[in-house]
């Protein structure tokens, strides 16, 4: 969300102060609400008061809906690069916690910036690197920002633990067929009617009509169903959906054994840092027997190839990168293509994927043309044989010479017999 409010700072050399304003909010709600505009207004008011109207040019860098825990942020990275390029004299942020959540991150960024002769200030008036008390104020406010974040986190985790102990949902994404209770409620999730209908339709396609996961996904799309994100269904989505424990009546919160369990922060003892693993009961959308039927059907057919196709040009077509092409088939798109193997190299190539049908038709058209041209075939044969026809007589003479040598030379068995008779005579 990098934007300009006057001319670009790098283009102004008429004695104006070149200013960068950095804005950040953590949630989409703040992004759509007043958060960013308030920060920008505060920064402009500070600049008008401290620098003076018309005496500066600003460029705004915005990370909307991005957590302060992340040290790598798109516009913050762009701002740091422009600071290093010497494009700014001053950087203004609404508050110090817009930069980071910990003392370490805040100190590092502020001192890295001021070391490049760039002034740093906050619009709330608490920090200004031109002040004599700058170092002390920075340490104190950075400590307070980290403490405030820790207290908010502690209150949030406390509320989650209360919900967990009451059997409620602590927060986060739920499976699409479950509806969380109202905000602040400790009640468990309830079933969403639309989500249950989708599961029933998927179960009918897979268990009753004996369709594969990909075929069932296409069936759901034809019926007008979409994923929770509004996207078309794919076979892999269905396989993951019916593998969830929520269909068995429970969800494991802080699951360290989940394939994605590595994302759960752990303490020195290997246990979840913010509390124990909890098994949360949830209502089931389908009978257990029905879920088992679907899972068994998916196990039998999910990885079976439904289309067998030969690719005559595999290893016979080479890309500009030097690697060869291989044939592939994507059932989700019902499309056969040839794909360059260079995309798997250490430095992936940029060779384009080629549709198999048009390529094979073009090659076969050339082959048909050659087969109907006798002169062309004769020329190809001569090219392949090289000078072999001119040396046929020499080859024949050589073969005849070898045959005569073989006839004149006694066989190995005859030689052994002769030696045996000679030895017997000696005795």
Which sequence positions are flagged as catalytic? 26
Cβ atoms of 43 and 94 within 8 Å: the answer is yes
Residue 281 — left, alpha, or beta (φ > 0 → left; ψ -120 to 50 → alpha)? beta
Q: Which of 127, 123, 125 is nearest to 19 (CA)?
A: 123
b or e along 396-415 (b: 16 or more beta carbons within 10 Å of the residue's beta carbon)? eeeeeeeeeeeeeeeeeeee
How many Cβ atoms from other residues are within 10 Å of residue 91's Cβ?
25
Cβ atoms of 339 and 348 within 8 Å: the answer is no
DSSP strands (E only) in 193-237? none
Cβ atoms of 118 and 83 within 8 Å: the answer is yes
Burial class of residue 188 (count of CB atoms within 10 Å of its CB; 0-12, 13-18, 19+): middle
Stated as kind and residue range, the H or E segment containing 155 is helix 134-165
Stated as kind and residue range, the H or E segment containing 104 is helix 103-114
Task: Name the one residue in this structure whose structure tokens are 């008008």.
Answer: 48
Cβ atoms of 349 and 328 within 8 Å: the answer is no
Q: Which of 20, 123, 153 is nearest to 79 (CA)?
A: 20
């Amino acid at each position: 969300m990098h934007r300009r409010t006057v001319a670009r700072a790098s283009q102004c050399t008429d004695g104006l102060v070149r200013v960068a304003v950095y804005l950040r909010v953590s949630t989409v709600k703040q992004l759509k609400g007043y958060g960013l505009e308030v920060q920008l207004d505060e920064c402009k008011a500070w600049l008008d008061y401290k620098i003076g109207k018309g005496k500066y040019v600003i460029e705004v860098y915005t990370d909307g809906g991005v957590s302060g825990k992340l040290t790598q942020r798109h516009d913050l990275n762009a701002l740091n690069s422009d600071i290093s390029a010497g494009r700014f004299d001053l950087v203004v942020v609404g508050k110090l916690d817009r930069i980071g959540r910990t003392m370490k991150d805040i100190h590092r960024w502020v001192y890295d910036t001021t070391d490049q002769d760039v002034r740093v200030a906050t619009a709330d008036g608490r920090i200004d690197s031109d002040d004599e008390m700058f170092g002390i104020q920075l340490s104190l406010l950075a400590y307070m920002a980290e403490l405030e974040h820790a207290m908010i986190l502690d209150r949030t985790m406390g509320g989650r633990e209360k919900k967990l102990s009451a059997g409620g949902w602590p927060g986060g994404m739920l499976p699409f067929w479950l509806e969380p209770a109202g905000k602040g409620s400790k009640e468990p999730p309830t079933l969403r009617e639309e989500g249950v209908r989708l599961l029933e339709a998927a179960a009918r396609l897979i268990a009753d009509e004996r369709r594969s996961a990909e075929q069932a996904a296409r069936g759901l799309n034809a019926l007008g169903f979409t994923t929770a994100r509004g996207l078309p269904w794919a076979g892999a989505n269905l396989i993951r959906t019916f593998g969830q424990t929520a269909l068995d009546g429970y969800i494991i919160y802080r699951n360290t054994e989940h394939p994605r369990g590595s994302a759960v922060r752990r303490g020195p003892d290997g246990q979840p840092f913010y509390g124990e693993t909890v098994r949360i009961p949830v209502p089931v959308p389908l009978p257990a027997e029905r879920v088992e039927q679907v899972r068994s059907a998916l196990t039998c057919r999910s990885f079976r190839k439904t289309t067998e196709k030969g690719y005559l040009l595999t290893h016979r077509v080479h890309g500009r990168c030097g690697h060869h092409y291989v044939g592939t088939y994507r059932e989700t798109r019902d499309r056969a293509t040839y794909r360059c193997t260079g995309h798997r190299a250490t430095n992936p190539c940029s060779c384009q994927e080629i549709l198999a049908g048009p390529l094979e038709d073009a090659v076969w058209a050339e082959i048909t043309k050659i087969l109907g041209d006798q002169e062309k075939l004769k020329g190809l044969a001569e090219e392949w044989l090289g000078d072999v026809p001119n040396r046929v007589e020499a080859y024949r003479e050589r073969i005849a010479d070898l045959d005569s040598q073989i006839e004149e030379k006694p066989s190995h068995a005859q030689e052994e017999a002769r030696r045996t008779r000679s030895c017997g005579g000696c005795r």
